[in-house]
């Protein structure tokens, strides 16, 4: 049995987001403008959602398949239902690699696209590991 491998956004991003949310909340009582208070609370709420989104482990691979983490829960994708594809896109003079997981079960299909930001590392490395783990 191969140990599970996991990928998620870098911890530093989550920490910075959490600190910014805390700073926005600390600033609320010191703001004399009512509109400013509302904006700070809205900013803190959106920042908290953003932080929660990036705190979730994005991808786990084990012998049974892949598990994708989202805010609404985890979705398990058995190996035989997933096609793994590495896609290179050129935008603004820069080439970016993304990992595409094409899942199909009967008539139900979904395409999951994971970026370097989502994985916390280069998708090329993740793709190599996934192909090595795949039975």
Concatenated DSSP letters of the chain: -PPPEEE-S-HHHHHHHHHHHHHHHHHGGG---HHHHHHHHHHHHHHHHHHHHHHS--EEEETTEEEEEETTEEEEEEGGGEEEEEEEEEETTEEEEEEEEEEEETTEEEEEEE-HHHHTS-HHHHHHHHHHH--
pLDDT at 45 over 90: yes
**Does residue 19 fall inside a structural domain?**
yes
User: How far, CA to CA in Å, does 105 sit from each of 79, 83, 126?
Assistant: 11, 12, 23
**Does residue 2 fall inside a structural domain?**
no
pLDDT at 106 over 90: no
Same structural domain, 129 and 97: yes
The reported pTM is: 0.79
pLDDT at 89 over 80: yes
pLDDT at 52: 85
Same structural domain, 120 and 64: yes
Q: What percent of the chain clears pLDDT 90, i.e. is strictly above it?
A: 73
pLDDT at 80: 94
Mean pLDDT of the chain: 91
pLDDT at 1: 67
Same structural domain, 75 and 124: yes
Average pLDDT over residues 25-39: 93
**Does residue 1 fall inside a structural domain?**
no
Same structural domain, 117 and 68: yes
């Amino acid at each position: 049995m191969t140990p599970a491998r996991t990928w998620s956004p870098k911890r530093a991003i989550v920490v910075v987001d959490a600190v910014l949310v805390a700073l926005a909340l600390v600033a609320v009582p010191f703001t004399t403008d009512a509109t400013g208070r509302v904006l700070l609370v809205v900013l803190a709420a959106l920042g908290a959602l953003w932080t929660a989104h990036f705190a979730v482990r994005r991808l786990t691979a084990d012998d049974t398949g892949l598990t994708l983490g989202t805010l609404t829960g985890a979705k398990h994708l058995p190996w035989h239902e997933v096609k793994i594809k590495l896609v290179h896109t050129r935008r603004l003079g820069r080439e970016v690699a993304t990992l595409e997981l094409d899942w199909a079960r009967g008539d139900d299909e979904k395409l999951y696209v994971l970026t370097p930001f989502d994985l916390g590392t280069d998708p090329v490395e993740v793709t190599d590991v996934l192909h090595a783990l795949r039975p």
